């Protein structure tokens, strides 16, 4: 199959929006119809996104499926879309998990179903838009737009006690980071205009711009803050446990599976290639924060009593690994980082689904309220152990491949980081297995737990879909890596060339300054 002229990315991005229009005309009392329509829309959406995978050409390291149209031509804003090996799987992850989410919330969401589904589809458009936009202005628009539906998902359907606090905290935290990024985007834009004479927000054009190193630092920090909050990196992670804990199951799933990837994606797509010299010089800062995140997240997990909070903090730890891999700035590290983004999506997404399932039955998330569930729910237990082990990184499952690549990459660049980070894996095994043991094994002491029903066919279906990918990536990662690798190779060449050029420029400046001073 070959790539055609059909504007596939536009279609994939805005098809969910079409779905919301259909939903608007449905009677809100007909909840079942609304659910089915949304399911069909998201299934079709997933089907539409598959050609991206099949028609993706591994021989091209640059952007594919590009679409360009003028938007605000006078100011150089364009409607520019495209994907490469970095964003391909993130788009697929989004379409897949939105589909899974619709099935997962079938019983969970009973109030305001119509509004919920509209938010969900609106969110999907926003998320895909972030991954496919190649114009900085367009990217920023999607980045902000996506906040609105997520804010409503948490604030309306979240846990009644603290949902408003969590929703507002989520919104404001992200907003503060992103407005500073906006200023940085503007500075970059005018810098480019001064250097080349053209006003453009086109990312591919801006890649070519050589920003002076002292300016690079500031811009890197401004972009970095926005992305670090989203990742979330230590010490900007405090919104995450609240948002995760208070959000409805589906909200947590999408937050974990997709939204957190936007931060790491942002570093990879924007910060590193736009400001390579600053990136190289700030590797210690980012890596140390990432390592603190890994260890701190893991330690906090050990003392959590709430299942959702525990998984939320494990995300902080896992995304620390991703950041460490990306900032190893070599082939294995970045490849591992990208793969680990997917892995985290599948594993943590699945964990939130599982917690949601027992929450629906028991209406509690406290670990101490469970114990001995294995006797009542063996099928649940089986899925739970697979996902738990995948999160720990057991060989044969997805987590192992990603973490291994990251550690290899980090070891090649700075061995000491790899050694410290590896302890995070041991801690992960400790908190995950301990949690599993307390929930599933032991005596069935609580009376409420003795009447729990095992998973329904619907729930088995969702978990099977996700587990399929957990095994697939674990056993044959080549399907994924073969598409990621060419892009990463091209990416590294580009970044390194620019880095060297930046260094030369700096050397040149120093020599010139020395000459001027010696003449005096």
User: CB–CB of 268/86 below 8 Å?
Assistant: yes
Could you tell me which of 383, 386, 360, 381 has the C-alpha nearest to residue 463?
A: 383
168 vs 420, which CB is nearer to another protein?
Answer: 168
Q: Of 176 and 501, which CB lies nearer to another protein in the complex structure?
A: 176
Two tokens, residue 448: 């409420």
We find the least distance from the C-beta atom of residue 32 to another protein, in angstroms, to be 20
**Do 120 and 248 meet the contact criterion of CB atoms below 8 Å apart?**
no
**What does the DSSP 8-state code read for residue 150?**
H
Q: What is the dihedral of CA 197, 203, 209, 214, to 10 degrees?
A: 110
What are the tokens at 520?
A: 């005096």
Nearer Cβ to another protein, position 169 or 318?
Answer: 169
397: three-class secondary structure by DSSP = coil
* Shortest Cβ 218–another protein spacing (Å): 9
Report the residue number, 96 or 142, with the smaller CB distance to another protein: 142
In the complex, the residues that contact another protein under the rule CB under 8 A are 71-75, 115, 137, 140-141, 144-145, 147-148, 151-152, 155-156, 163-164, 167-168, 171-172, 175-176, 179-180, 182-183, 186-187, 189-190
Q: What does the alpha-carbon distance between residue 321 and residue 179 come to, in Å, rounded to a whole number?
A: 27
| Contact assessment for residue 315 and residue 256, using Cβ atoms and an 8 Å cutoff | yes
Burial class from Cβ neighbours inside 10 Å (0-12, 13-18, 19+) for residue 299 reads middle
Name the minimum Å distance from CB 252 to another protein.
18
The sign of the CA dihedral 356, 358, 363, 369 is negative
In this structure, are residues 449 and 291 in contact, taking their beta carbons and an 8 Å threshold?
A: no
Q: Which is nearer to another protein, 177 or 356 (CB)?
A: 177
Per-position b or e across 364-389, b if 16+ CB within 10 A of its CB: ebebebbbbbbebbeebbebbebbbb
Task: State the minimum distance, in angstroms, from the CB of residue 262 to another protein.
Answer: 16
Least distance from C-beta 116 to another protein, angstroms? Answer: 12
Closer CB to another protein, 175 or 420, in the complex? 175
Distance CA 157, CA 451 (A): 27
Q: CB-wise, 177 or 337, nearer to another protein?
A: 177
**Distance between CA atoms of residues 473 and 481, nearest Å:** 9
CB of residue 181 vs another protein: minimum separation in angstroms? 9
Task: Report the residue number, 72 or 419, with the smaller CB distance to another protein.
Answer: 72
At its nearest, how many Å lie between another protein and the CB of residue 28? 9
Place of tokens 């044959």: 476
- Least distance to another protein, CB of residue 189, Å: 7
- Min dist CB 183 to another protein, Å, is 5
Residues whose CB falls within 8 Å of the CB of residue 151, separated by 6 or more in sequence, listed in order: 167, 168, 170, 171
Tell me whether residue 159 or residue 506 sits nearer to another protein (CB atom).
159
- Return the SS3 of 1: coil
Please, what is the minimum distance in Å from the beta carbon of residue 317 to another protein?
Answer: 28
Q: Are 484 and 339 in contact (CB under 8 A)?
A: yes
- Output the smallest distance, CB 175 to another protein, in A: 5
Task: Please state the closest distance from residue 104 (CB atom) to another protein, in A.
Answer: 22
Instruction: Give the torsion sign (CA, 207, 188, 334, 57).
Output: negative
User: The tokens 């972009």 sit on which residue?
Assistant: 223
CA distances from 505 to 113, 206, 210, 405, 502 (A): 58, 18, 9, 33, 5
- Cα torsion angle, 234, 240, 245, 248, sign: negative
Closer by beta carbon to another protein, 151 or else 313: 151
Nearer to another protein by C-beta: 13 or 340? 13
The neighbour count for residue 504, using CB atoms within 10 Å, is 11
The nearer residue to another protein, 172 or 416, going by C-beta atoms, is 172
Q: How far is CA 200 from the centre of its chain?
A: 27
For 10, the 3-state DSSP assignment is: helix
- Smallest distance from another protein to CB 152, Å: 6
> Cβ closer to another protein: 126 or 241?
126
Q: Considering beta carbons, is residue 143 or 480 the nearer one to another protein? A: 143
**Token pair belonging to 478:** 């080549």
> Rounded to whole angstroms, how far apart are CA atoms 462 and 383?
11
Are 231 and 195 spatial neighbours (Cβ–Cβ below 8 Å)? no
At closest approach, how far in Å is the CB of 154 from another protein? Answer: 9
């Amino acid at each position: 199959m070959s790539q055609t002229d059909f504007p596939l990315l536009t279609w994939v991005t805005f098809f969910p929006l079409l779905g919301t229009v259909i939903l608007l005309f449905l009677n809100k009392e007909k909840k079942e119809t609304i659910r089915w329509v949304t399911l069909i829309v998201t299934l079709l959406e997933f089907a539409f996104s598959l050609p991206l995978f099949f028609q993706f050409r591994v021989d091209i390291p640059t952007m594919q499926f590009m679409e360009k149209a003028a938007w605000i031509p006078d100011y150089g804003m364009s409607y520019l879309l495209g994907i490469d090996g970095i964003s391909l799987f993130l788009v697929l992850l989004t379409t897949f998990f939105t589909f899974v989410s619709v099935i997962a919330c079938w019983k969970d969401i009973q109030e305001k179903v119509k509004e919920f589904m509209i938010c969900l589809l609106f969110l999907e458009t926003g998320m895909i838009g972030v991954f496919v936009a190649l114009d900085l202005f367009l990217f920023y628009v999607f980045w902000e737009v996506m906040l609105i539906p997520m804010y409503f998902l948490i604030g309306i359907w979240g846990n009644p006690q603290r949902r408003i606090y969590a929703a507002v905290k989520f919104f404001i935290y992200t907003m503060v980071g992103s407005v500073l990024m906006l200023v940085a985007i503007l500075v970059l834009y005018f810098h480019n205009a001064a250097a080349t004479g053209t006003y453009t927000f086109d990312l591919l054009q801006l890649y070519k711009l050589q920003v002076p190193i002292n300016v690079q630092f500031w811009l890197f920090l401004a972009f970095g803050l926005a992305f670090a909050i989203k990742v979330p990196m230590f010490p900007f992670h405090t919104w995450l446990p609240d948002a995760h804990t208070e959000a409805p199951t589906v909200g947590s799933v999408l937050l974990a599976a997709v939204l957190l990837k936007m931060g790491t994606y942002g570093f990879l797509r924007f910060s590193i290639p736009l400001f390579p010299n600053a990136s190289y010089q700030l590797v210690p800062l980012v890596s140390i924060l990432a390592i603190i995140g890994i260890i701190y997240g893991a330690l906090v997990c050990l003392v959590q009593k709430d299942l959702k909070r525990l998984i939320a903090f494990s995300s902080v730890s896992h995304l620390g690994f991703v950041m460490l891999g990306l900032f190893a700035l070599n082939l294995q590290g970045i490849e591992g980082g990208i793969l680990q983004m997917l892995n985290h999506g599948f594993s943590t997404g699945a964990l939130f689904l599982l917690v949601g399932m027992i929450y629906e039955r028991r209406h509690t998330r406290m670990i101490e309220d469970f114990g001995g569930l294995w006797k009542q729910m063996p099928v649940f237990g089986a899925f739970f152990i697979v996902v738990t082990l995948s999160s720990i990184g057991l060989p044969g499952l997805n987590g192992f491949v990603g973490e291994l690549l990251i550690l290899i990459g980090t070891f090649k660049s700075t061995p000491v980081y790899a050694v410290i980070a590896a302890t995070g894996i041991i801690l992960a095994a400790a908190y995950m297995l301990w949690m599993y043991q307390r929930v599933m094994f032991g005596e069935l002491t609580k009376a409420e737990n003795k009447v729990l029903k095992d998973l329904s066919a619907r729930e088995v279906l969702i978990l099977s879909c996700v587990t399929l990918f957990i095994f697939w990536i674990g056993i044959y990662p080549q399907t994924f890596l073969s598409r990621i690798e060419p892009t990463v190779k091209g990416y590294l060449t580009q970044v390194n060339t620019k880095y060297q050029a930046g260094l030369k420029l700096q050397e040149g400046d120093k020599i010139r300054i020395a000459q001027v001073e010696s003449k005096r």
